[in-house]
């Protein structure tokens, strides 16, 4: 695969993903002249319809609840920023990390995890639904933009990074990207970075959004030692700083400490393991990008706090119940009458002529592609007595 790299090969560690040795794409294409293969992947993701829709999909809060809350789009950009910083420090491929980060949430349903849980329940008899697999399905099949192939025809390495986990049964059906699950191998280091950058971003930014929404308090968060240490340190240093800036500074320092710990620990592991190339990384018996034991413990405390105090807050629970009901009702009515689906979701053939499993997957693709506000509008169009069109 001939490409003109943005950086000389010596800028990357030998165990990094080198674009000129990529495993390639599902459909052969001439190499790009002025971009690397992974830059091309990133660009195709950014120009995809699924990526644009992330602007109106939220993580914890429904999109219309307020403009200050993070969306899947802003989250993906934040993951890419964190991931690139880690990759640069470890002499790994920043462009590949960015491509994986920007694509990792493309398959998310409206209404966050509540939407996914509802759609998975609806699809239980038809193969289930999982947003991670759906992200891969989006880039492999559902994006319809190019003349010569369906999907975005991304490189193996980007697709490998998007697929963070799957069952052995599903892995057998996925060809090359499913092999590592069958062989007990790990993905490349860039995929490992993107996975942990995702965790750093959503944990810390859910803290920030939860405080903004008034669902959690600073006093309660100070029961978490990691948060309390940063917050009280800033309070001593800047005793008259406004609360909003205190929170931002606390979250910023938490992210910085997690990223720094991740880089330091990963450098030590890489030096000790000394993998000669990316294939040695895949065959290594454990992940090589990781936190220290102490930071893992602190991260676990943050997750436990958020699960108990934010994700199970009654206001979030109420939203989740309504969201699940909307998803379930949309799925039910479309299964009963496929003629209610728009033609862009079904193509030329009525899905009522298809077997139930095919029909259900088409419906799941349509619902998963909805934004929060589109799902709400579609629900009201179908079930609201005042909506006649």
Token pair 């030329």 is found at: 348
Buried-state track 70-91, b at ≥16 Cβ within 10 A, e below 16: bbbbbbbbbbbebbbbbbeebb
Centre a 10 Å sphere on the Cβ of residue 377 and count the other Cβ atoms it contains: 14
Confidence of residue 66 (pLDDT cuts 50, 70, 90): very low
Q: What is the pLDDT of residue 4?
A: 43
Give the pLDDT score at 2: 43
pLDDT of residue 343: 86
Percent over 70 (pLDDT), the chain: 93
The radius of gyration of the chain's CA atoms, rounded to the nearest angstrom, is 22
368: nearest Cα among 63, 64, 79, 135 = 135
With 70 as the cut, is the pLDDT of residue 349 above it?
A: no
Q: Is 351 exposed, middle or buried (0-12, 13-18, 19+ CB in 10 A)?
A: buried
Prediction pTM value: 0.92
Read off the pLDDT of residues 104-117 as tens digits, 9 standing for 90 and up.
Answer: 999 999 998 899 99
pLDDT band at residue 6, thresholds of 50, 70 and 90? very low
Please say whether the beta carbons of 379 and 326 come within 8 A: yes
Output the pLDDT for position 67.
47
Parse the chain into domains and list their residue ranges: 197-314
CB 103 within 8 A of CB 158: yes
Residue 278 · residue 189 · CB < 8 Å: yes
Confidence of residue 354 (pLDDT cuts 50, 70, 90): confident
**Is pLDDT above 60 for 1?**
no
Hey, what are 235's tokens?
Answer: 């309070």
% pLDDT > 90, the chain? 84
Mean pLDDT of 347-358: 79
Who has greater pLDDT, 240 or 354? 240
Q: What is the pLDDT of residue 11?
A: 87
- For residue range 357-377, list pLDDT tens digits in order: 999 999 999 999 999 999 999
What average pLDDT score do residues 334-347 get? 88
The total number of residues shown for the chain amounts to 389
Per the model's pLDDT, the better-predicted residue between 61 and 47 turns out to be 47
């Amino acid at each position: 695969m001939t490409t003109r790299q943005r950086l000389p090969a010596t800028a990357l560690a030998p165990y990094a993903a080198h674009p000129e040795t990529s495993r390639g794409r599902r459909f052969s294409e001439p190499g790009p002249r002025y971009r690397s293969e992974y830059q091309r992947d990133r660009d195709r993701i950014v120009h995809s319809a699924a990526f644009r829709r992330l602007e109106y999909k939220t993580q914890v809060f429904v999109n219309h609840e307020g403009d200050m809350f993070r969306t899947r789009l802003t989250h993906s950009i934040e993951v890419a920023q964190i991931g690139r910083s880690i990759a640069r420090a470890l002499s790994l491929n920043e462009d590949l990390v960015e491509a994986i980060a920007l694509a990792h949430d493309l398959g998310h349903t409206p209404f966050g995890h509540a939407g996914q849980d509802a759609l998975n329940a609806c699809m239980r008899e038809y193969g289930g639904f999982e947003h991670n697999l759906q992200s891969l399905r989006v880039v492999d099949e559902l994006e319809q933009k190019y003349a010569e192939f369906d999907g975005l025809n991304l490189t193996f390495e980007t697709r490998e990074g998007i697929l963070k986990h799957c069952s052995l049964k599903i892995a057998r059906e996925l060809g090359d990207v499913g092999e590592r699950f069958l062989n007990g191998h790990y993905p490349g280091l860039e995929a490992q970075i993107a996975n942990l950058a995702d965790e750093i971003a959503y944990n810390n930014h859910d803290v920030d959004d939860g405080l903004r929404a008034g669902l959690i308090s600073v006093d309660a968060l100070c029961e978490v030692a990691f948060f309390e240490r940063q917050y009280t340190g800033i309070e001593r240093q800047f005793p008259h700083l406004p609360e909003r800036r205190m929170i931002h500074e606390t979250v910023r320092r938490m992210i910085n400490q997690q990223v720094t710990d991740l880089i330091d620990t990963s450098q030590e592991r890489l030096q000790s393991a000394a993998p000669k190339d990316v294939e040695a990384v895949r065959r290594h018996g454990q992940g090589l990008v990781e936190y220290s034991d102490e930071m893992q413990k602190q991260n676990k405390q943050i997750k436990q706090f958020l699960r108990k105090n934010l994700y199970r807050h009654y206001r979030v629970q109420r939203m989740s119940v309504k969201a699940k009901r909307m998803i379930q009702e949309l799925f039910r009515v479309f299964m009963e009458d496929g003629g209610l689906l728009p033609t862009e979701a079904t193509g030329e053939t009525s899905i009522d002529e298809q077997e139930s499993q095919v029909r259900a997957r088409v419906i799941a693709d349509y619902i998963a592609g909805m934004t929060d506000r589109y799902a709400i509008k579609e629900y009201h169009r179908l079930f609201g007595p005042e909506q006649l069109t």
